[in-house]
Amino acid sequence: MTTVPHATAPAGQGSEAATRNAGIDALRGLAILLVVLHHLALRLPLKQGLLAEILPPRVVNALGYNGYEAVFVFFVISGFLIATTSLERWGSLDRIDIGAFYARRFARIAPCLVLLVAVLAALHLAGAADYVIAREGQSLPRAIGAALGFHLNWYEGATGYLPGSWDVLWSLSIEEAFYLGFPLLCLALRRERWLVAVMLPLALSLPLTRAALAGSEIWQEKAYLPGMAAIATGVLAALVAARPTPHPARLPALLLLAGAIGLVAVLLYEGLLWRSLGNGTLLVLTGASASLVLGLHWRAAQGRTTALPGLGWLRSLGRLSYEVYLTHMFVVFGIVALAKAAGSDPRHAFAWYLPAVLLAWLLGALLAHGFSIPCDRWLRRRLLQPAAPVRRIGAPGGVDQAAG
């Protein structure tokens, strides 16, 4: 597989020490913002409010109803970052240290996940509204096993939707199931061309696998293969980014333009695209996301790392995306309860959105800095042996981070 022919990094340097890509952070921030807005819009609709009288319906819909699409953007980014940081750390994907790979994933994912499941279990046992698992055929022990065993999407497909704070774990189940097999696949195939031969059909299968599940809304939304197809698209983008082949100086800008057009088209004109392309619309989305991350990566490689002004808040939201994703439903349920208790006019529902986003960011920041980052560092110190010097990609790739 591709060996990265660049300068070595200090021994034991993890992906969290790599230079951040501000553009990818902002893209991830946009994705988590759309997820939070979507879950608010399902409960405090914007369509009948004052905002709908000011903004075009297409824009209102884009703000409130693109959470599912945002998760697929997360999948692409996650695939790109995991493959890129693996190349930075080990120089080639066929040299992945499987124990270290799993240890890093465990240290990053497990603390927040276990804490969330413990809190949700306590709320269920306390009978808290919005948190009780009451659907026939479901139980707290099975929900806990599904969440910690990365098959909550499968459990929901078999039994129905879980309460909202549990439901968000469907995307984590897909992502982590992919990464359980990813290093094994890299070590088994040994050659980049064979990895591409597996990843490319998987990436292109997205419309077909989703269409094949049309008989079940839950399965169509949350089955493994469509989500893994999006992650595979990110992995392919990382393999392209790692190749030393020169490219035209304007290529990053062209990729960013194409990616932005594709993303805006899906977010604003999704109905039209679905009527003409059907499930192929999601392929436009994943292709646009891959184009954006590749363009941002190569732009940084050219030394153009200046962040756009005024987007610091969005980049911060992106850096906290894992923590915000896991905990934002607590804020959503709280804000909705406050709005109802206050007798809020449905036409003024938009007024609750900014406080909700700020509180979701604050809760994510408190969780990250007070719990998940210290736990991550503590676990890595105990699980990882000091590493030999590693080869790194010259361009920044971001940090090891899950999406949802």
What are the E-state strand segments in 58-124?
none
What is the CB-side half-sphere exposure of residue 46 using CA atoms within 13 A? 24
Phi, psi (degrees; rounded to nearest 5) at 9: -105, 165
Find the helix or strand (DSSP H, E) in which 215 lies.
Answer: none
Phi, psi (degrees; rounded to nearest 5) at 395: -95, 150
Which alpha helices (DSSP H) does 190-250 contain, by range?
Answer: 192-204, 206-211, 217-222, 224-242
| Residue 9 β-bridge partners | 390
pLDDT digits (tens, 9 = 90+) for 261-307: 999 999 999 989 999 999 999 999 999 999 999 999 999 888 776 66
The one-letter amino acid code at 80 reads F
Q: How far apart are the first and last CA of the chain?
A: 29
> What pLDDT band is residue 161 in, cutting at 50, 70 and 90?
very high
* Distance from C-alpha of 285 to C-alpha of 305, rounded to nearest angstrom: 25
pLDDT of residue 122: 98
- Rounded mean pLDDT, 340-345: 90
User: In sequence order, what are the residues at sequence separation of 6 or more whose Cβ sits closer than 8 angstroms to the Cβ of residue 153?
Assistant: 170, 171, 173, 174, 222, 223, 224
Tokens of 4: 């990265």
Phi, psi (degrees; rounded to nearest 5) at 244: -80, 0
Which of 177-191, 296-310, 358-372 has the least mean pLDDT?
296-310
> What pLDDT band is residue 245 in, cutting at 50, 70 and 90?
confident
Burial of residue 233 (number of CB atoms within 10 Å: 0-12, 13-18, 19+): buried
pLDDT of residue 17: 34
pLDDT of residue 16: 40
Cβ atoms of 360 and 331 within 8 Å: the answer is yes
pLDDT digits (tens, 9 = 90+) for 183-209: 999 999 999 999 999 999 999 999 999
Residue 390 has what DSSP assignment?
E
* Distance from C-alpha of 336 to C-alpha of 23, rounded to nearest angstrom: 32
* Distance from C-alpha of 152 to C-alpha of 328, rounded to nearest angstrom: 18
Find the helix or strand (DSSP H, E) in which 9 lies.
Answer: strand 8-9
Residue 324 has pLDDT above 50, yes or no: yes
- Rounded mean pLDDT, 310-324: 94
CA angle 90, 91, 93 (to 5 degrees): 75
Task: Say what the alpha-carbon torsion angle 330, 64, 24, 111 is, to the nearest 10 degrees.
Answer: 20
Q: Helices 251-268 and 67-90, interaxial angle, to 10°?
A: 150
- Rounded mean pLDDT, 50-71: 91
Cβ atoms of 393 and 243 within 8 Å: the answer is no
